[in-house]
Structure 1
Amino acid sequence: MSNHSIDYRNDFKNISIATLATALFKRGLKNQCIQNISPLHSSGKKLIGTAFTLRYIPAREDINTIEVFKNPEHPQRVAIETCPENSVLVIDSRKDARAASAGSILITRLHMRGCAGIVTDGGFRDCTEIAALDFPSYHNRPSAPTNLTLHQAIGINEPISCGDVAVFPGDLLVGDADGVIVIPQHLIAELTIECLEMTHFEDFVLQEVKNGSSIRGLYPPTNPKTLERFNNWKKTQNHIK
């Protein structure tokens, strides 16, 4: 495994957020799963990409009128147009879904620009259209379309909170049907290698269980013969090096 060439977008396709959570927990990081969000997209496509952030604050009515959306430098619009290819737009919506973080037009624009997905601890409008996109989209719940000015976009690509998790620009977000986890940037490479090995072992364990094995001594591998069988099993798997 030490000679493994890191390819994050390819490697993390095969690593569940449950496995990543275990690896992070071993390092003392217990609060990396974004809380109270779920996938809106129905394609099942996995979310994998580095964080590009947008922060909202409570709107102040005298400066956050409907007219501000005509400004091409509006922070929400700027974030949509500058989020890099293969990055995830992560939005701090204060865990408040009363006003939409974005709608189908803006999210389609992210999709067409080659971004990797979008995550908010608030909500989206136009949920039917967003769900039909082959674009990983996670939110709290649908937002009322008319509540346009409860939030005010204020900060772009700075540290934020999303679903009670600290998200720094450049952190890696991985999402599947279970939710979304945030991997600190400096841990990405070592978690790739460790979690691929963990994933291979879990594949082996699942096959053993399907063949009738007890989990005692198998999971975790407290029986020394378990790891011996695992190493022999790996030699038979062409995709494992």
Structure 2
Amino acid sequence: MTTAPLSTQTIRNFMYASTATVSMQMLKRGFRNSAINGARPVNAASARMVGPAFTLRYIPGREDLDQPPRPSDPPSAQREAIEGTPAGHVLVIGTEGNTAAGTLGDILALRLKVRGVAGVLSDGAMRDTPVIGKMEFPVFCTAAAAPPSMTRLHPVETQTPVGICGVPVYPGDVIVADEDGAIVVPRHLADEVARDSFEQERLEKFVAIRISQGIPISGTYPPNDETKALYEAWIKAGEPAGG
């Protein structure tokens, strides 16, 4: 597990590729359970997200432990996550799928945004979604809920493995997200998956140009040697829009 930042090139490669492409690269490496289905972006216009995971785990709340917040409250795992998630990382919140209360609201989301956090991914609900939905900050969740977290949830720890919609997320795993959802990439594979995702995305861009020109699928997708040669020439020509 690591909190080391991703290289600029790896981030660029992941940002260029769609999660559909990244999921194919994960499948080629034998990973069939890397796609998080069910968590959707609150603001679809701000869905692109790449960063290592910093995790926060909730368990069901208990009335004697979970009360309305007071300034004198001792530090909690939630506050540790809000102030401790490194810039460029994704705060990943596991709730065991509890959507009866919001894990975060607009103020805490804003604090994360100001601190330079890359985004939020949760299998639970969010409060204040009308406000979060207008923020230029990626927030993924499974539902909206008005009640605050302490009505049904208790934050227990950070930087421990969590399950998000049936997918394991370990601290330091890389989260790649867009409007299709989120993909989890083990940190030690991130650089190569990003590199190959970029190449696949670029190839498919060329293939789409060919298909739009009326070229049949056979030999084009997947590409045969002739199409691959045309692709290499296209790259050398500067990737012109017309193919």
Partner SS state of residue 138, structure 1: strand
Which runs of 5 or more residues in structure 1 are unaligned? none
Asked whether the 8 Å contact 1:6–1:189 carries over to 2, the reply is: no
1:165 maps to 2:167: yes
Match of 2:207, SS state, is helix
Q: CA deviation at 1:145?
A: 2.4
Q: Return 82-91 or 55-64, whichever deviates more.
A: 55-64
Instruction: Give the stretch that moved more between structures: 70-79 or 144-153.
Output: 144-153
The sequence identity of aligned pairs, in percent, is 36
Equivalent pair of 2:39/2:140 in contact (CA under 8 Å): yes
Q: Distance in 2 between matches of 1:120 and 1:172?
A: 15
Indicate the residue corresponding to 2:228 in structure 1.
227
State the distance in 1 between where 2:225 and 2:149 align: 60
Please give the alpha-carbon distance, in whole angstroms, between the structure 2 residues aligned to 1:127 and 1:70. 28
TM normalised by structure 2 equals: 0.91
Distance 1:67 1:146, change over 3 A: closer
Equivalent in the alignment of 1:48: 50
What residue in structure 2 maps to residue 153 of structure 1?
155
Question: In 2 relative to 1, CA 181–57 (structure 1 residues): closer, same or farther, beyond 3 Å?
Answer: same
Match of 2:136 among 115, 134, 137: 134
Q: Could you report, residue by residue, the CA deviation over 1:180-227 in whole angstroms, capped at 9, with x for unpaired residues?
A: 111100101111221111111100100001111111111112x32111
RMSD: 1.8
Q: Deviation at 1:67?
A: 4.9
Q: TM-score, normalised by structure 1?
A: 0.91
Does the residue aligned with 2:144 lie in a helix, a strand or coil? coil
Are the counterparts in 1 of residues 19 and 182 from structure 2 also a CA contact under 8 Å? Answer: yes
In structure 2, the gaps of 5 or more residues are: 1-6
Amino acid at match of 2:53: A
Contact 1:72–1:78 (Cα < 8 Å) also in 2: no
Q: From the superposition, tell whether residues 119 and 231 of structure 1 become closer, same or farther in structure 2 (CA, over 3 Å).
A: same
Q: Distance in 2 between matches of 1:13 and 1:147?
A: 32
* Structure 2 equivalent of residue 86 of structure 1: 88
Whether contact under 8 Å (1:6, 1:192) holds in the other structure is no
Aligned mates of 2:154, 2:92 — CA distance in 1: 15
Find the aligned partners of 1:155 and 1:13 in 2 and give their Cα distance: 30
* Structure 1 range deviating more: 82-91 or 92-101: 92-101
Q: Give the aligned partner of residue 3 of structure 2.
A: none
Per-residue Cα deviation, 1:63-82 (whole angstroms, up to 9, x for no partner) = 22335785240111111011
Deviation of 1:16 after TM superposition, in Å, equals 0.6
Q: Aligned letter for 2:165?
A: G
| 1:49-64 matched pairs, under 5 angstroms | 49-64=51-66
CA contact (8 A) 2:67 2:150 kept: no
Counterpart Cα distance in 1 of 2:208 and 2:71: 52
CA distance in 1, matches of 2:8, 2:212: 31
Letter aligned with residue 34 of structure 1? I
SS of structure 2 residue aligned to 1:105: helix
2:35 alignment partner, SS class: coil
The separation in 2 between residues aligned to 1:79 and 1:20, in whole angstroms, is 27
